[in-house]
A and B are shown apart, each in its own frame.
Chain A
Amino acid sequence: MKQIKSIGGQDLKEMFAAATNWLEKSAQDIDALNVFPVPDGDCGTNMLLTMRSSIEEASRAPDQNISQVAQAMAKGALMGARGNSGVILSQIWRGLAQSLNEKETIDGHELAQALLQASEMAYKGLSNPVEGTILTVMREAASAAQKQVAGGNGNVISVLEATVDAANESVANTPNLLPVLREAGVVDAGGQGLFTLLEGALLYLRGDVELMQFRKSRVIASSIPVTARPLQLSAEEEEAFGYCTEFLLKGENLDLDKLRKKLQSKGQSLIVVGDESTVRVHIHTLDPGNVVHYITSLGTLHKVSIRNMDEQHEDFLTMQKGRMPAVDMAIVAVVAGDGLADVFTSLGASAIVPGGQTMNPSTKDILQAVEAVPSDKIIILPNNKNIVPTAQQVESLTDKSIEVVPTESVPQGAAALLAFDYEADFETNAKLMTEAKSGIKTIEITRATRSTKLNGLAIKKKQAIGLLDGNLLAVNDELDDVLSELLARIDLDKAEVITIYYGDDTDEAEAEQVSTGIREQHPNLQVEVVSGGQPHYNYIVSIE
């Protein structure tokens, strides 16, 4: 295993810059989890904005030792903190920075100590801390780090790994601690956000940069099984949530305790953090005017934000409604690339497991998606020959009914997904979908990563190579020549639709050009160009 004895300021900054990007990919998923303290669906976004402000400030640190960088990040987080979880996150940074004070670099022991102090600081900002939230996740993660170093292993990576694993478990356990999560069938959004950040930092430190490009963090499945998702969908019956009121107060000799006491009676979810010159306040109140009025007597107000949470809540409900399962069956698909994920989602897949050629997901990855989907009957589309057996193992690991439609390519998966019959039962659908995939031809085109000889073809590095239904059959200098060659092997008289999914390093214009070529040669075919965003393959082509 990779060993890292110590990290400095530059490392800290890079780790969390990468972690912020990692969080960005999942921010919307986290938003959708958000039910506590107010179901306004912005937790992921708030944490992301807080982190962005933190990272921005990090680059302004006067010195690149870990103490200065952490101070800057804490300051940035405080200045940019948004929402409940954002403010708590800024407290976490404050605790970290305090612990790292005057240090040039830190080892695993010092990291564990800093995490502990961060956890303590997080609790301090709140007048009545609630368990089953980001606080619990931070505390349990920090305590796992302590245990790890107590065992004598001071490797920074091992410490962070223990932290991330504990955070994962802690997040999964949040519904056991907080009834509102249990009712909604979700894990805590803030906790999930913190886990995602820590995970991102670990991945970066471990050097899994490529993985971070292609995958995104997943929403952790609740440790209690979710049978349905009885989210309240009518806003009328609910109490008013009032206004989420946030601002920075700048002044002299500010007394945080007094401020906290004074504001306590004015609303809920109160958080007061900072020092005697700068204080960040977050409160949910029905009368923001009253709060602001009181505060202006103490100093100057900055970055004032007052948001109507009832409105936010309605937006959230609309968002949830869009995500509500309408059938008792759900489809989990494995695809790589944002474009393909969007295509599969738009065609009705309930969950996407990132993965494909050269990046096969684990059984656990698929299992987690299966457990997270609020349906008891799940159809899995592996969309890759090598992933089919992995998907088939899921059945023995879950109580849910599983059908694996053994799709071996993205085009087969799309065809199977489209064949879903809304009036047919589970088994019939699996059958229909399996039948539908057989009528599809798949062409995959990529560039050779090394020179080799395969299937009697001499391939030079970087040459375009093409696979027809998984068999390497063509090689040429140009991608479109390979495509033409492979299309010529197919009886196109029987085909109706050709879909070209172009990869993330392929231009749309280039893909359009390829499609124009096909249209000219085969005017009877309907040719469609779709951004797949997949890695590895320049083109994945479906012929149906």
Chain B
Amino acid sequence: MTVKIITDSTSDITSNLAQELGITVVPLTVSFGHEHFLDRVEMTTDDFYRRLASENIFPTTTQPSPSLFVDAYQKLAQESDEILVIVVSGELSGTYQSALSAKGMVEGKCRIEVMDSLSVAMGLGLIVIVATKMAQSGASLDEVAAAIKRRIPRSHPVMSFDTLKYLAKGGRIGRAQRLAGPLLKVRPVLTMRNGEVSPLTRLRSQKASLDYLYNFVAGIASIEELAVEHATTPDDADRLVERLSSIYPKERIYRSTVSPVLGTYVGPNVLAVSILEAEGK
């Protein structure tokens, strides 16, 4: 029986892709005041940024309740006896805890493993995609989990920001604290290291950040999977994909947008590449 793969909505796996690959995505919740929306299910990225721009309310987010995971586990347990749950870094969200405690609430013989990806956005998404592909080619839960464990340190989400205001406000700034509050207009570039947000550099223009993202990818010797995502600037994402096509097949580059929950922390105008570095290097 095929191992079933579950992730959460901060993986930025679009609903089309989830459907195509058979990935179950458990949504977090984004709230504007007393209005609550399931991430990507009840609110799209575009709707989110429209509201963010037009309203003074600062959105907040909530991890999925364990019951959402319980529902997903129970549904999939009817189709399989092995489930692998790969979620957003525990440093950024309590989703891992929810997924773990839900495990104890499900009876039956279905085996469930929960893994902390130490990553987020398509950095997490690409790991989930690889896990799903392996599961579909017949690998067991243990085999998939072992392979994913090796890939976690090789996932590099690299995101160029307009501002770190949202990240700071949301309390997720981590080691990028040093980049906060610049008195010149700069575009910080951040990544994830050991599950925590970590600074890479700062650039002065959008063009310079495009160059940086391109060069970051070009500097990686061997790529297993590659993704590009944006928040509000699809044209910039197109331009980046176009440039990357000279070093990596364009049709293999996954495209996505940051989810509303992620958008709460990254703000508008972010542009990101996520690279899953191939093994053996």
Residues of A within 8 A of B (CB): 326-327, 342-343, 346-348, 414, 418-423, 496-497, 499, 526, 528, 530, 544
Chain A residues, Cβ within 8 Å of B175: 326
Distance in angstroms from A528 CB to nearest chain B CB is: 6
Chain B residues, Cβ within 8 Å of A544: 204
Interface locus among B43-51, B97-105, B178-186, B255-263: B178-186
Selected from A326, A496, A530, the residue in CB contact (under 8 A) with B183 is A530
- Given A422-B201, A496-B208, check contact A342 B185 (CB 8 Å): no
Chain A residues, Cβ within 8 Å of B203: 418
Selected from A343, A346, A422, the residue in CB contact (under 8 A) with B199 is A422
Selected from A346, A348, A526, the residue in CB contact (under 8 A) with B205 is A526
Distance in angstroms from A262 CB to nearest chain B CB is: 48
Selected from B177, B183, B198, the residue in CB contact (under 8 A) with A347 is B183
A346 CA to B185 CA, complexed, in Å: 11
Q: Can you give 18 A-B contacts (C-beta < 8 A)?
A: A346-B184, A347-B184, A348-B178, A348-B179, A414-B184, A418-B201, A418-B202, A418-B203, A421-B201, A422-B200, A496-B204, A496-B205, A496-B207, A496-B208, A497-B205, A528-B185, A530-B183, A544-B204
Chain A residues, Cβ within 8 Å of B177: 326
Determine the residue in chain B with the shortest Cβ distance to A417.
B202
A496 CA to B185 CA, complexed, in Å: 13
Distance in angstroms from A353 CB to nearest chain B CB is: 19
Distance in angstroms from B187 CB to nearest chain A CB is: 10
- Given A326-B175, A326-B178, A422-B198, check contact A342 B183 (CB 8 Å): yes
A343 CA to B182 CA, complexed, in Å: 7
Distance in angstroms from B202 CB to nearest chain A CB is: 5
A259 CA to B110 CA, complexed, in Å: 78
Determine the residue in chain A with the shortest Cβ distance to B176.
A422
A326 CA to B177 CA, complexed, in Å: 10
Chain B residues, Cβ within 8 Å of A526: 185, 204-205
Distance in angstroms from A415 CB to nearest chain B CB is: 8
> Across the interface, do B204 and A343 meet the contact criterion of CB distance under 8 Å?
no
> Across the interface, do A418 and B200 meet the contact criterion of CB distance under 8 Å?
no
Selected from B183, B198, B201, B202, the residue in CB contact (under 8 A) with A343 is B183
- Given A326-B178, A496-B207, check contact A420 B185 (CB 8 Å): no
A342 CA to B204 CA, complexed, in Å: 18
> Across the interface, do A343 and B184 meet the contact criterion of CB distance under 8 Å?
yes
Chain A residues, Cβ within 8 Å of B185: 497, 526, 528
Determine the residue in chain B with the shortest Cβ distance to A340.
B183
What 8 new A-B contacts, CB under 8 Å, besides A347-B182, A414-B184, A496-B204?
A343-B184, A346-B182, A346-B183, A422-B199, A422-B201, A497-B185, A499-B184, A526-B205
The 0/1 profile, CB within 8 Å of A marked 1, for residues 257-280 of chain B is 000000000000000000000000
- Which B residues from 130 to 160 make CB contacts under 8 A with A? none
A420 CA to B208 CA, complexed, in Å: 15
Determine the residue in chain A with the shortest Cβ distance to B177.
A326
A530 CA to B183 CA, complexed, in Å: 8
Distance in angstroms from A439 CB to nearest chain B CB is: 10
Determine the residue in chain B with the shortest Cβ distance to A420.
B201
A420 CA to B201 CA, complexed, in Å: 7
A421 CA to B190 CA, complexed, in Å: 11
> Across the interface, do B178 and A346 meet the contact criterion of CB distance under 8 Å?
no
> Across the interface, do B205 and A418 meet the contact criterion of CB distance under 8 Å?
no
Chain A residues, Cβ within 8 Å of B182: 346-347
Chain B residues, Cβ within 8 Å of A530: 183-184
A496 CA to B203 CA, complexed, in Å: 11
> Across the interface, do A418 and B204 meet the contact criterion of CB distance under 8 Å?
yes
The 10 closest A-B pairs by CB, nearest first: A496-B205, A346-B183, A422-B199, A343-B183, A497-B204, A346-B182, A418-B202, A497-B205, A346-B181, A528-B185
Distance in angstroms from A328 CB to nearest chain B CB is: 13
Determine the residue in chain B with the shortest Cβ distance to A342.
B183
A418 CA to B185 CA, complexed, in Å: 11
Distance in angstroms from B66 CB to nearest chain A CB is: 30
- Which B residues from 64 to 94 make CB contacts under 8 A with A? none
Chain A residues, Cβ within 8 Å of B184: 343, 346-347, 414, 418, 499, 528, 530
Distance in angstroms from B109 CB to nearest chain A CB is: 45
Selected from B181, B198, B201, the residue in CB contact (under 8 A) with A419 is B201
A499 CA to B184 CA, complexed, in Å: 9
- Residue from A423, A530, A544 with most neighbouring chain B CB atoms (10 Å): A423
Distance in angstroms from B203 CB to nearest chain A CB is: 7
A419 CA to B204 CA, complexed, in Å: 10
A348 CA to B185 CA, complexed, in Å: 14
- Residue from B175, B199, B207 with most neighbouring chain A CB atoms (10 Å): B199
Chain B residues, Cβ within 8 Å of A342: 183
Determine the residue in chain A with the shortest Cβ distance to B205.
A496
Selected from B179, B200, B208, the residue in CB contact (under 8 A) with A421 is B200
